[in-house]
Structure 1
Amino acid sequence: MRTLFNTLVIVSMAVLLAGCAAPSFSDGMTSVARQTAVKTAVDARQYSFKAMTAATQKGRNINLTSAYGIVVKPDMLSCDLPFFGTSFGGSAYGGEGAIRFESKQFEYSAEPGKKNGWTVTIVPKDKPEVQKIMMMIGAEGYTTVTVISTNRSAMNYYGNLEWK
C-alpha cells in the first residue's frame, strides 16, 4: 500500500512539474502554428520583442512591470529598454537611464539556431552608442536579447516575440 502511495505521489509531482516547466501562451495557437508564425515574422523582419525581465552583467535580475521592448520592421528599428548596468564615461542615449533609440540604417541577419530557433544580429549604423543587438529566438517565440553598447555594460533581457 505504501509503495502504491509513493508511486502516485511521484507521478503527480512529475505531472505538476512538467506543466510548470515553461510559461504558457494564452493566444490559443497550437505549438506548430506558433512556430510557423514566429518563422514567418523573423523572415519578414516584422515583429516586436516584449521584455519581461532584465539582467545586468553583475547578476542582478529585475522583473519589468512596464511595457519595454524592441520593434523590428524591414525599414525601421525601435528600441525602448531600461538600463540598470554600469556606464563607462559620458552619458549615452541622450543622457537617459534607458536604451532608447530609433534607427533606419541597420544590418539585420537571421541564422538558424538551436532547436528550430534563430540567432538574429542587428547592428545599427546610425547609432554609434549601440554596437550590436543579439536576439536568441526560440521556435515558439521565447527570446533572449543582449544589447552591447559602446559606453555601457551589456544588458540581457528575457521575454517573448509578438507578431501580427
Structure 2
Amino acid sequence: MKNLALLFVFCLTMITIAQAQKSDQENLQAAVDSQTFVFEGRQASGVRGRMIQLDPGYTLNVSPDRVVGDLPFFGRAYTSTPGQTDGGLKFDFTEYTYEVKPRKKGGWDITIEPTESNDIRSVFLTIQESGNASLRITSNSKEGMSYTGTIQ
C-alpha cells in the first residue's frame, strides 16, 4: 500500500512538471510571435575563439516597434568613432525586418535586419523550446560576435 501511494505521488509530480513545461513553451511561442522578448546573454565568444562569461545585464530587447542591444564586444574593429570610449555593441533601431522560421526539431530561427542606416547588418537568433538561445551579430565596422543565453 505504501508503494502504491509513493507511485501515485510520483505520477502526480511528473504530470505537474509536464504541464509547467507545456505552459512555458506556449508562453515562449507567444513571445516569438508577438515580437516581444528579451535575450539575456550569459556567454560571449569572438571570431578568434576567445570566450568570456558575462555578468547579468547584457541584453537584446525585441519589441514590435524597436530593437535595442547592449552587448559587449571584443575583437577587431575596422573603423572607429572619434570621442567614443565605449567599445560595446550598442544599438537601437526602429525600422527593421523580422523573419521567423520554425526549426525541424523544435524552436525558432529569427532574422532581424535593420532597414535604416545602421552599423549593424544583421541579427540572427536561434531559440530552443527550453528558452535557451544563441545570438549572432554581424556588423559593418567590427568582427562578428556570438552570444549564448536565455529568453526572458
Q: What is the TM-score of this pair, normalised by structure 1? A: 0.76
* 1:131 and 2:121 are equivalent in the alignment: yes
Identity %: 28
Deviates more, 1:30-39 or 1:78-87: 30-39
Per the alignment, residue 32 of structure 1 pairs with 22
Per the alignment, residue 111 of structure 1 pairs with 101
- Match for residue 49 of structure 1 among 39, 59, 76: 39
Per the alignment, residue 110 of structure 2 pairs with 120
Report the count of equivalent residues: 133
Letter in 1 for 2:136: T
In angstroms, what is the RMSD of aligned CA positions? 1.7
- Match for residue 48 of structure 2 among 44, 58, 69: 58
Aligned residues of 2:40 and 2:56 also touching (Cα < 8 A): no
Q: Structure 1: how far apart are the matches of 2:40 and 2:81?
A: 25
Dislocated runs of 4+, deviation >3 Å: none
Q: Do the aligned partners of residues 126 and 55 (structure 1) sit closer, same or farther apart at CA in structure 2, a change above 3 Å counting? A: same
Q: Structure 2: how far apart are the matches of 1:117 and 1:124?
A: 23
| 1:49-88 superposed matches below 5 A | 49-88=39-78
Deviation string 1:77-127 (CA, Å, 9 cap, x unpaired) is: 1110000121113349x5631111211111101110142100000011224
Kindly state the Cα deviation for residue 66 of structure 1 after the two structures are TM-superposed: 3.7
Kindly state the Cα deviation for residue 128 of structure 1 after the two structures are TM-superposed: 2.4
Q: Which runs of 5+ in 1 are unaligned?
A: 1-28
Q: Which runs of 5+ in 2 are unaligned?
A: 1-18
* 1:158 and 2:148 are equivalent in the alignment: yes
Deviation string 1:9-34 (CA, Å, 9 cap, x unpaired) is: xxxxxxxxxxxxxxxxxxxx822111
Per the alignment, residue 20 of structure 1 pairs with none
Q: Structure 1: how far apart are the matches of 2:75 and 2:64?
A: 30
Q: Structure 1: how far apart are the matches of 2:56 and 2:130?
A: 23
Q: Structure 2: how far apart are the matches of 1:33 and 1:136?
A: 20
Q: What is the TM-score of this pair, normalised by structure 2? A: 0.82
